[in-house]
Every structure is written in structure tokens, then in C-alpha cells.
Amino acid sequence: MLIQNREITHPDVTTLVWAAEEELLSRYPDEQLSPLDPAARFVVAYVLGEPVGCGAYVAVDPAAAATPTAEIKRMWVRPANRRTGVARRILTALERRIDAAGFTTVILETGVLQPEAISLYDSFGYLPMEPYGEYVDNPDSRCFTKKLPS
């Protein structure tokens, strides 16, 4: 497996994000998906040259956070590649990049209908937090945070 940095405009990012959004809309048909932040920093996981998963992070507005904070976005793995360690590798790669960029805290949101994602974040030491931003009044959202080791 290979993890590569990719621009938001890269065709593999586009393909994976579209597939992720299709799945999210099937799980949450009444939800409105938020647009991609053009400043998002993506990684793509490749198995045998094929893109099988992605994840990204964005900087959180310093006025909205007490410490330098990044938000993980668009974590997704193709169903055929789940339970093979791809998501763990993507999350590890994102955390390393976030740490290298000088952030000390990570936040993220996932949904109640994604127990596999909740289990992944729990296994990485993410702790539940109060909903933030657009997720405050969304009963389907679960938000998590983690302090990165210094």
C-alpha cells in the first residue's frame, strides 16, 4: 500500500470523494453535504496502483480554537478494501502531516450510522467532544478530538 499527497483537483481525489458522498447520501438521505474546502490537504491510499481510500485535513480558524487545530475531513475507504488496514494507514498519515504542519489538536466529525468510523477513531485515542460549527444542531453527528503528542 502506498499513501500519496494529492491536490484537491487530482482525478483520484475527485473519484474517491464522489464515491464517498454517494455512500453518505445513501446512509443519510436527508443530509446536505458540505462543500470541499479548497485548502484541504488530501492523501490517497493506493493498492496495486488503484486508489482505494482518501482523507484530508484543513486548518481550523485560529479565532475558533484555543490551540493550533486541524480538522480531518473526507476519510473514506472503498467497501472492498475495508478491514484491511487502509483506514488506519490513512489516519496515521494524516496525523503525521498535521503534526508536521504545527497543529497540536485534531478534531473531526462522523455520523451515528458509521460505527466502523467511530471504532477507528476510538482505537486511535480520539475522545468525544461537544459538536462544533455546522454540526451543533445535527443529531446524526458525533464529534471527536485528540491532542497530538508533542
Give tens-digit pLDDT for 38-49. Answer: 999 999 999 999
Q: At residue 10, what are phi and psi to the nearest 5 degrees?
A: -65, 140
Given the candidates 3.40.630.30, 1.20.1250.20, 3.30.1330.30, 3.30.465.10, the CATH classification of the domain at 2-147 is 3.40.630.30
| Residue ranges of domains in the chain | 2-147
Give tens-digit pLDDT for 12-23. Answer: 999 999 999 999
Q: At residue 20, what are phi and psi to the nearest 5 degrees?
A: -65, -45
Give tens-digit pLDDT for 50-96. Answer: 999 999 999 998 877 888 999 999 999 999 999 999 999 999 999 99
Q: Which of 31, 30, 26, 27 is nearest to 113 (CA)?
A: 27
Supply the mean pLDDT for the chain.
95
- In this structure, the number of other CB atoms found within 10 A of the CB of residue 107 comes to 19
